[in-house]
A and B are shown apart, each in its own frame.
Chain A
Amino acid sequence: MATSKPKVDAVIVGMGWTGAILAKELTDAGLHVVALERGADRDTQPDFAYPKVVDELEGSVHRRFLQSLAQETVTIRHALADTAVPYRQMGSFKPGAGVGGAGSHWSGCHFRPLPEDLRLRSNVEQRYGKGLIPADMTIQDFPVSYEELEPHLDLFEKICGTSGKAGVINGTVQEGGNPFEGSRASEYPLPPNPNYLGAELFYKAAREMGWHPYPIPASNASRSYVNPYGCQMGPCNACGFCSDYGCLNYSKASPNACILPVLRQRPNFELRPHSQVLRVDLDGSGGKATGVTYLDAQGREISQPADLVVLCAFSLYNVHLMLVSGIGTPYDPQSNTGTVGRNYSYQNLNRVVLFFDKDVHANPFIGIGGAGTTMDDLNGNQLDNGKLGFVGGGLVWARQPGAGPVRGINVPTGTPNWGSAWKQAVADNFRHSFYYEVQGACMSYRQHYLSLDPTYKDAFGRPLLRMTFDWHPNEIKASQFFVAQALKMSQVLNPLSMAGDAKKDGERYNITKYQSTHTCGGAIMGDDPKTSALNRYLQSWEVPNVFVIGANAFPQNNGYNPTGLVGGLAYWAATAIRERYLKAPGPLVDA
């Protein structure tokens, strides 16, 4: 029998970026907030302290800062007729656990969406008619505009000390930034980070292609910085341990460094780590949440009543919690009804590696997580999708988040995997190669969705979340186009050799190969309760005192990394809760 805790105003599930943002905003509003985090508490000191944190075996093999799959994972299959099998070892995507969540082990790429990305379906139909969109493609417009989100995207950048160069401020194009971006109210809080070799050469190669290169906005502080909450960041020292690692230097923006220092002081905020939420509890009508039930560190079942429940777990687990709690109607791809699980999408990441002679010092051990160079000439309305025959844009970029030999050394195609020839190749190439990546959008489809697995269970006896996903010909075509462009661009730099990994016709989704943690959708925001689980304020249509914050809300994914938009949406939802919901709890949009 569950022990019941005293009722609180709001309970937050998960203490990553969205949980920290919501906790800050709701405690600002005077609410008593309890945050439940399944993993351990973590802070820069001592958890990310040098030198222990820069241990490659611990970080990238034992995956100390990621979620263990032993307790919870997902199952995956390619198609409806297949039997899903568990994601047993970390590969394709890397959810986090512990305070900070994936926000402590991300790299730091911090993009805003393009205005046209947020109205994707209507924009594509307007440009090319309805014919370009395949019948099974279920893309939708976001139910919120870039202009509405701009102040929230702006605030999140200021919280993160994002280092970049604005391209358009109040409608005026700025030298050195992305001329195609949506208009911004202000410059980035910090200037760009310095360029490592690949990022510098990208400018030369991209300009020869007639493109408009610009610095990737990176939440890796290029200078000392104090954010609007009073949290201090130190300048990034290019240590090369970003992705998979917590930041040792208070340089990479994270909930731990940028928000939690404030929250931890607040008497109306209580953080309970090692608290595994099992379900959201609903009242007899099913239309109201009464709180959540969780297991504490000792495995005791605890009931935490609350007026407001905010799901801020990793996107996949937000959807899982909705499904196991009975919030909304599960999506059924056969009948095309229901909403929870609908429109799962991902990211279309591909890589081109360039190998150079020994006088070219690429030094891949140097790394500044999100920093580098990219361009938007093949993204958004710059790309002629009608001519190319696929939907969605993408980026080519130079990024160097830091490499070490345990994380892997790129060697030219044809090199043996072991023996003296392999040794010679790693010795010859480690310091003299770098890579460019192609990050493409990923559309949503009727047959790609999330549901509960009929067979496999987690350590708490709940069915695992089941992902049905594969590469659609649209994304394969896009991959081939973008990689070909990246190879053409790279040729300008005259490398000794190159290796590109464009998806081949008919290639299936491979869950063993890392290709970003940008799992999106499954509980999407929309204007129509028949085709979206959440309204435009990320509020459940069916259970209005439940808000679900995260990339789960994306109807499809664009070419950018999702974190900037996720943070912006979190502030957007928090503002709606503070300014409207708390005054009159109930649906913020009539169904």
Chain B
Amino acid sequence: MSDPLDKSPSLSRRSLFKGIGLLPLAVALPGCGEKDAPAGVGATAAPTEYKPAFFKPAEWDFVVAACDRLIPHDAVGPGAVESGVPEFLDRHMQTPYASGAIWYMQGPFLDAPAEFGYQGRLTLRDILRVGIGAIEAYCRKTFQGKGFAALEATQQEELLKAAEAGKLELEGISAKLFFSNLLAEVKNGYFADPHYGGNRGMGAWKMIGYPGMRADYLDWVEVRDQAYPLPPVDLSGKRG
């Protein structure tokens, strides 16, 4: 039986990688040491220019403020806000995934022990929307009409910690459920490919030394004595 496949795919892919991989080596080496991991593209955690389509203005204020607390800008690397995570969240909430496309969403919805995971009726986008509404209502009630974004950073942190620990009583939704979904989404946005809206300039990848979408490491499997030298590339082929 003759081979029905094109015999060249791996070869042609390899040539492609030579193009991407070898060129930046020389320019990349100086900036790639452990100590030199760049601290992101922006110096401040200013809100983005992006105009949200899913989140309403008050929700957006919460999203930006919460992102800034969950992954703050610091000497280690870029913060979530400057990385575009709020934009990621807004766009991600508009996907079929956030509407429960791959979750089983038929009832009855029973209470079950934690080992059985999420058993609620809200989709991801509704978990965030209902959760933000509930925490905003909690803030206004508790802090003389102030929303989450208007609180001091330390107050915001305390609230998020309480939500994470399940110590915050919110109306209509479990604070722990809301928090765990929010945090997972913030991390997804921080680390996913930049074309989703977050991880601007591949700053999060540079912070941890992830080469991104290079996906070709045979020459480095057995190297032990030096750090992987190449900076990241993203899905569009851009180099970080």
| Residue ranges of A at the interface with B (Cβ–Cβ < 8 Å) | 44-45, 50-52, 54-57, 61-63, 66, 68-70, 73, 76, 78, 83, 85-91, 193-197, 200, 226, 229-232, 234-241, 248-251, 261-262, 264-265, 358, 361, 363, 365-366, 368, 404-406, 409, 417-420, 422-424, 426-427, 430-431, 455-457, 508-512
Closest 6 CB pairs of A and B: A234-B10, A405-B191, A239-B215, A230-B1, A512-B117, A430-B208
B106 in contact with A56 (CB, 8 Å): no
- Which of B53-61, B64-72, B140-148, B166-174 is the interface stretch? B64-72
Q: Could you name 11 residue pairs across A and B whose Cβ atoms are closer than 8 Å? A: A85-B110, A89-B118, A250-B10, A361-B224, A404-B191, A404-B210, A418-B71, A420-B74, A424-B76, A427-B76, A508-B115
Whether A238 contacts B217 by the Cβ 8 Å rule is yes
Contact of A365 among B105, B211, B226 (CB under 8 A): B211
Name the one of B4, B9, B104, B228 contacting A265, with C-beta atoms under 8 angstroms. Answer: B4
Question: B28 an interface residue at 8 Å Cβ cutoff?
Answer: no
- Contact code string B204-219 (vs A, CB < 8 Å = 1, else 0): 1101111101011110
Taken together as a complex, chains A and B put the C-alpha atoms of A63 and B95 apart, in Å, by: 13
Query: Could you say which of A68, A365, A406, A419 contacts B192, with CB atoms under 8 Å apart?
Result: A406
Q: A85-B116, A365-B217, A423-B207 are in contact. Are A197 and B224 (CB under 8 A)?
A: yes
Q: Are B104 and A88 in contact (CB under 8 A)?
A: yes
Q: For the complex, give the distance between the alpha carbons of A56 and B209 in Å.
A: 16
Distance from B65 Cβ to chain A, minimum over Cβ atoms (Å): 14
User: Are B9 and A363 interface neighbours, CB within 8 A?
Assistant: no
B34 at the A/B interface (Cβ < 8 Å)? yes
CA distance A136 to B204 in the complex (A): 51
A56 touches B208 (CB 8 A): no
Q: Which residues of A contact B218 (CB under 8 A)?
A: 194, 235-238
Assuming A194-B222, A238-B216, is B3 touching A226 (CB within 8 A)? yes
**Docked pose: A51 CA to B37 CA in angstroms:** 25
Q: In the bound complex, what is the Cα–Cα distance between A63 and B96 (angstroms)?
A: 12
CB distance B76 to A250 under 8 Å? no
CB distance from A369 to the nearest CB of B (A): 13
Given A361-B225, A423-B74, 6 further pairs, Cβ under 8 A: A55-B192, A78-B115, A232-B3, A240-B215, A249-B10, A365-B217
Contact, CB under 8 Å: A239 / B216: yes
Nearest B residue to A64 by beta-carbon distance? B102
Contact between A409 and B208, CB atoms less than 8 A apart? yes
CB pair A86 B106 closer than 8 Å: yes
Chain A, residue nearest B88 (CB)? A57
In the complex, per-residue mask of B63-99: 1 if CB is within 8 Å of any chain A CB, else 0: 0000001111010110000000000000000010100
Report Cα–Cα, A246/B193, bound state, in Å. 18
Please, how many angstroms separate the alpha-carbon atoms of A41 and B237 in the complex? Answer: 28
B227 at the A interface (CB under 8 A): yes
Chain B residues within an 8 Å CB radius of A61: 97, 188, 192
Chain B contacts of A511 at CB under 8 A? 115-117
Contacts of A196 in B (CB 8 A): 221-222
Once the chains bind, are A423 and B10 in contact (CB under 8 Å)?
no
Q: Which residues in window 102-129 of B have CB below 8 A to A?
A: 102-106, 108, 110, 112-119
Partner of A56, one of B110, B192, B225: B192
Which residues of B, 1-35, contact A by the 8 Å Cβ criterion? Answer: 1-7, 9-11, 13-14, 16, 34
Q: In this complex, what residue of B is CB-closest to A63? A: B102
CB pair B228 A361 closer than 8 Å? yes
| Cβ–Cβ < 8 Å partners of A226 in chain B | 3
| Chain B positions near chain A (C-beta within 8 angstroms) | 1-7, 9-11, 13-14, 16, 34, 37, 69-72, 74, 76-77, 95, 97, 100-106, 108, 110, 112-119, 157, 160, 164, 183, 186-188, 190-193, 196, 204-205, 207-211, 213, 215-218, 220-228, 235, 237
The answer to whether B103 and A54 have CB atoms under 8 Å apart is no
Contacts of B34 in A (CB 8 A): 358
Query: Once the chains are docked, how many angstroms separate the CA of A174 from the CA of B135?
Result: 65
Contact B116 A419 (CB under 8 A): no
Return A398 CB to nearest CB of chain B, in Å: 13
Shortest beta-carbon distance from A166 to chain B in Å: 22
> B103 to A363, Cβ gap below 8 A?
no
Is A69's CB under 8 angstroms from B14's CB? no
Which of A194, A404, A508 contacts B113 (CB under 8 A)? A508
B210 and A87 contact, CB distance less than 8 A: no
Q: Which partner residue on chain B sits nearest A201 by CB separation? A: B224
Cβ–Cβ contact A405 & B115, under 8 A:
no
Contacts of B13 in A (CB 8 A): 50, 237, 248-249
CB–CB A237/B76 < 8 A: no
A405 touches B208 (CB 8 A): yes
Partner of A237 from the list B14, B95, B209, B225 (CB cut-off 8 Å) is B14
Q: Which of B13, B103, B117, B225 has the most CB of A within 10 A?
A: B117
A54 touches B215 (CB 8 A): yes
CB distance from A540 to the nearest CB of B (A): 29
Q: Roughly how many angstroms separate A90 CA and B117 CA in the complex, as a whole number?
A: 10
| Distance in angstroms between the alpha carbons of A47 and B89 in the assembled complex | 26
Which listed residue (B14, B104, B108) contacts A455, Cβ 8 A? B108
With A235-B218, A239-B217, A366-B221 in contact, do A427 and B207 touch (Cβ < 8 Å)?
yes
Q: Chain B residues near A87 (CB, 8 Å)?
A: 104, 117
CA distance A365 to B114 in the complex (A): 31
CB-defined contacts of B204 to chain A, threshold 8 Å: 405
Q: Could you tell me the distance between the alpha carbons of A487 and B221 in the complex, rounded to whole angstroms?
A: 25
Chain B hits for A193, CB < 8 A: 221
Which residues of the partner chain A approach B190 to less than 8 Å between Cβ atoms? 405
Residues of A within 8 A of B225 (CB): 361
Q: Bound complex: CA of A508 vs CA of B76, how far in Å?
A: 39
CB distance from B36 to the nearest CB of A (A): 12
Q: State the Cβ distance, A223 to closest chain B Cβ, in Å.
A: 11
Q: Provided the pairs A70-B101, A229-B1, A365-B210 are in contact, do residues A406 and B215 lie with their beta carbons within 8 angstroms? A: no
B217 partner, pick from A70, A265, A358, A363, beta carbons under 8 A = A363
| B183 and A430 contacting across the interface, CB-CB below 8 Å | no
Q: Which of A62, A240, A418, A431 has most B Cβ within 10 Å?
A: A418
Residues from chain A with a CB closer than 8 A to the CB of B14 are 237
Q: CB-nearest residue of chain B relative to A72?
A: B104
Most buried by A among B11, B76, B221: B221
Question: Using Cβ atoms and an 8 Å threshold, which residues of chain A touch B211?
Answer: 365
Contact for A51 among B205, B226, B235, CB less than 8 A: B235
- Asked if residues A51 and B237 are in contact (CB atoms below 8 Å), the reply is yes
B residues in contact with A51, CB < 8 Å: 213, 215, 235, 237
Cα–Cα distance between A44 and B106 once the two chains are bound (Å): 34
Are A62 and B1 in touch, CB under 8 angstroms?
A: no
Note all chain B residues with C-beta closer than 8 A to A54: 213, 215, 235
Question: How far apart are the CA atoms of A235 and B186 in the complex, in Å?
Answer: 36
Q: Across the interface, which residues of B come within 8 angstroms of A238, CB to CB?
A: 216-218, 220-221
* Shortest distance from the beta carbon of B166 to any chain A beta carbon, whole Å: 13
Q: A361-B224, A419-B69 are in contact. Are A70 and B115 (CB under 8 A)?
A: no
A108 to chain B, nearest CB (A): 15
CB of A76 within 8 A of CB of B116, answer yes
- Determine if B192 and A57 form an interchain contact, defined as CB atoms under 8 angstroms apart: yes
Indicate if the CB atoms of A405 and B102 lie closer than 8 Å.
Answer: no
Contacts of A73 in B (CB 8 A): 104
* CB pair B221 A88 closer than 8 Å: no
Whether A250 and B72, one on each chain, are in contact in the complex, defined by CB atoms closer than 8 angstroms, is no
* Cα-based distance from A241 to B211 in the complex (angstroms): 13
- Residue contact B100 to A70, C-beta cutoff 8 Å: yes
